Amino acid sequence: MSLLPVEEALARLLAQAAATPIGECESVPLADADGRVLAEALIADLDLPPWPNSAMDGYALRLADCTGEPLPVSQRILAGQAPAPLQPGTCARIFTGAPLPAGADCVEMQENAEVLADGRVRFSEPLRAGQNVRPQGQETRAGEQVLAAGTRLGPVELGLIASLGRAELTVRRRPRVTVLSTGDELIEPGLPLGPGQIYNSNRSLLCAWLRRLGCTVVDGGILADDLQRTRDALTALADVDLILSTGGVSVGEADFLGQVLQEDGELTLWKLAIKPGKPLTCGHYRGVPVIGLPGNPASTLVTFGLLARPYLLRRLGVVEVEPLAIDVPAGFAWTKAGKRREYLRARLEGGRAVLYPNQSSGVLRSAAWADGLVEVLEDRTYAEGELLRFIPLSELLG
């Protein structure tokens, strides 16, 4: 059976996401909008800055008045004041951010101005029109689109929106996502470990990550390896937007989740050309989309970051869903071409990507050590120093 290329899997997921948007919106105060997705384009309803103002502490003047003779100071303008028009043949004391008086066309910084004993000011450096003036609307004109619908809001966007005076925003409602862990070996942290048991790490990883993505997490806990209890657990999840499960997607015999999806929804098993993360399940349960990630913790990380994350963001109408990546020279040689595209946990050291020594899909510590994922393409080898795509984990985790 041929493996599904990563691009193809992503394209399919994004198409499904676009077909099932989470379209409902809500109004939120600016202070609560971090991490949310803007539902409507943000159009400026004022010029920014609203009036020309000084970029320096100094003197506002009219270039034509500067004949070499010192100028008297006719007014003092602080930020927050509304100045009178500049009297011809004078200058105005002005401070950074204060409105430029009508009639002035430049500002000289105080370091280049000499205040004489009689209070007049001599300007000896050459001046030019517009110098040290921040013109009205230099950042934004009223009517301009400042942010597109589908923008994810972070500190920068919130600052920008605040500068336009908006206190309320229309954003997409939070997606409700259930995290289910499958596997009889799993036990929650804090409980004593019995024979054959391991602690559930995927749940903590995914719940925290989903919250960072603006989702409301409906914790589904550990799904028992039992058909009726799996049915009951899924029936209780009618009002979520996505069921995200981990584990039980390869060829194991105790895959009750798959069985319930086949009975009451749809199940497609994908074999992806990705390492870690080959087996992935897609489908729905009574119309609620389901993504089943492989259970190995590094596989969960890679498939959530590269496939489920962009899928969720696209359902929220986000356009730019793929992480920013940079090309970096390999700090290692890759001598054995593989059938799957590998995402190796790596650090940047001296501008080169170096690998965590153990790249097993069961080793989550590799990702805690790493700065990012290095992409090794299928069917090829790399010499040390060759360029590889590097996806910073900071890009994926937010």
Ligand X SMILES: Nc1nc2c(c(=O)[nH]1)N[C@H]1C(S)=C(S)[C@@H](COP(=O)(O)OP(=O)(O)OC[C@H]3O[C@@H](n4cnc5c(N)ncnc54)[C@H](O)[C@@H]3O)O[C@H]1N2
The residue within the footprint of ligand MOO, chosen from 62, 278, 309, 345 (CB under 6 A), is: 278
Strand segments, DSSP code E, in 236-331 are: 242-246, 265-271, 274-275, 279-285, 288-293, 326-329
As given in the structure block, the two tokens for residue 229 are 């209890």
CB of 340 to ligand X, least distance (A): 9
292 binds ligand MOO per the rule CB under 6 A = no
CA-based nearest residue to 14, from 224, 254, 308, 273: 308
Least distance (Å) from ligand MOO to the CB of residue 295? 8
Binders of ligand X in range 250-309 (CB under 6 A): 250-252, 276, 278-279, 294-297, 299
Of the CA atoms within 13 Å of residue 34, those in its CB half-sphere come to 8
How many C-beta neighbours within 10 Å does residue 20 have?
16
Which position among 58, 103, 247, 276 is part of the footprint of ligand MOO (CB under 6 A)? 276
Closer by beta carbon to ligand MOO, 38 or else 205:
205
Q: What's the gap between Cα 28 and its chain centre?
A: 19
Rank residues 57 and 184 by Cβ distance to ligand X and give the closer one: 184
Question: What tokens does 358 get?
Answer: 């153990």
Size of the site for ligand X (CB under 6 A): 26
Given 275, 309, 314, 341, the residue binding ligand MOO (CB under 6 A): 275
H helix or E strand, kind and range, residue 221:
strand 216-223
What mask of x and - would describe binding to ligand X in positions 182 to 221, judged by CB under 6 A?
Answer: -x-xx-----------x-xxxx------------------
Binder to ligand MOO among 277, 292, 323, 331 (CB under 6 A)? 277
Query: Are 244 and 177 contacting, i.e. CB atoms less than 8 angstroms apart?
Result: yes
CB-wise, 93 or 340, nearer to ligand X? 340
Instruction: Determine the Cα–Cα distance for residues 36 and 52; give it in Å rounded to an integer.
Output: 33
281 binds ligand MOO (CB under 6 A): no
Residue 339 tokens, joined: 């059938």
| Phi, psi for 275 (deg, rounded to 5) | -140, 120
Nearer to ligand X, 20 or 204 (CB): 204
Torsion sign, CA atoms 249, 255, 259, 260: negative
Which residues here bind ligand MOO, judged by CB under 6 A? Answer: 275-278, 294, 296, 299, 361
What are the residues binding ligand X (CB under 6 A)?
181, 183, 185-186, 198, 200-203, 246-252, 276, 278-279, 294-297, 299, 361-362
